[in-house]
Amino acid sequence: MDNFLEHLNAFEKILLMTHTKTRRLDMRLFIGLALVVGAALGGFALVTATESTTAVYVASKTLTPGHVLDKNDLVLTDVKLGSSGTSYLTANAFTPGSVVTKAVGAGELVPVSAVGTAKHVATTNVVVQLDVPLASEAVVGSSVDVWASMAVGQGVFGPPSVIISGAQIAHITEATGLAASNGGVRVELVVPQNKVAALLESQANGDALSLVPTRGKSS
């Protein structure tokens, strides 16, 4: 009888050890499967995010502050933007009649921050007559400083100084008459509203105006 009980106890111990090992194996298997599934899902999400595109607007021409947008100014394009997709203008976010608040170059994505309403625009357009040629870098959409040399006599001017920093060129027209013979041009500038009076006064006084490109600067 004692031998039978000893064998029974030994058998129970074997069963207990086997069950414990099985539970350990099951737990390890479960953890391993969870890691594999997690890695697969993470990789799928990463690939999906990388390959997905967003339809956003690209400027079909140079857009200057104060310009009222219409569909002809924009081209809807699918691009891969990832997490920065919300930073650019989409078809759903565009409202006809929106106004450009910051310059956008032709072919560039249109940032949401560059579009607003008329009340967000603190600039106005002023045409200036220049008697000297423009620098090659002074093109539509570029940023320029407006320099003025005060007229102190017939054909005599004082030292130049900056009267407006970071104006934007909206349009360029070849000058006519005497200015044309000197290589001058008429330039439509986008200037801060609080600088308009100074610019108009300088023109009325016959000051000599020049536009100097501001590399790396933009309004």
pLDDT, greater one: 34 or 121: 121
Same domain, 105 and 59: yes
Give residue 87's pLDDT: 85
- Claim to verify: residue 142 and residue 208 sit in the same structural domain: yes
pLDDT band at 14 (very low <50, low <70, confident <90, very high): low
pLDDT above 60 (res 25): no
> Distance of CA 50 to CAs 9, 17, 46, 111, 145, Å?
61, 49, 6, 21, 42
Q: 5 in a domain, yes or no? A: yes
Residue 7 covered by a domain:
yes
Least confident of 39-43, 119-123, 184-188, 202-206: 39-43
- 76 domain residue, yes or no: yes
Predicted pLDDT of residue 13: 56
Q: Please say which residue of 74, 98, 119 terminates a domain.
A: 119
On the question of pLDDT at 54 being above 90, the answer is: no
Last residue in a domain, options 73, 88, 119: 119
Instruction: Write the pLDDT tens digit of every residue in 139-179.
Output: 998 999 999 999 888 878 899 999 999 999 999 997 665 55
User: Any long-range contacts for 194-197 (C-beta under 8 Å, 24+ apart)?
Assistant: 194/122, 195/163, 195/164, 195/167, 196/124, 196/126
Range of the domain at 197: 122-213
In a shared domain, residues 135 and 206: yes
CA distances from 188 to 22, 142, 211 (A): 83, 12, 11
Strands 99-100 and 115-116 turn out to be antiparallel
Q: What's the pTM?
A: 0.58
- Position 74 in a domain: yes
Same domain, 207 and 145: yes
CATH number (domain holding residue 94): 3.90.1210.10
**Residue 46 domain-assigned?**
yes
Q: Which of 20, 35, 51 is where one domain is finished?
A: 51
Phi, psi of 104 (to 5 degrees): -130, 125
Which tens digit of pLDDT belongs to each residue from 72-128?
889 998 888 776 667 888 888 888 888 888 888 889 999 988 888 877 778 889 999
pLDDT-based confidence at 186, cuts 50/70/90?
Answer: very high
pLDDT of residue 219: 45
- How many CB atoms sit inside 10 A of residue 179's CB? 16
Lowest mean pLDDT: which of 2-6, 38-42, 130-134?
2-6
Regarding whether 152 and 108 lie in a shared domain, the answer is no
Residues 90 and 43 both lie in one domain? no
Residues 64 and 115 occupy one common structural domain: yes
The end-to-end CA distance of the chain, in Å, is 101
127 shares a domain with 106: no
Q: How many domains does the chain have?
A: 3
8 Å CB contact between 128 and 189: yes
214 or 182, greater pLDDT:
214
Could you tell me if residue 88 is inside a domain?
yes
Q: Are residues 147 and 158 in the same domain?
A: yes
Written as six digits, the tokens of 18 are 């086997």
- Work out the average pLDDT over 16-29: 55
The CA–CA distances, whole Å, from 3 to 6, 9, 17, 40, 110 equal 5, 10, 21, 55, 90
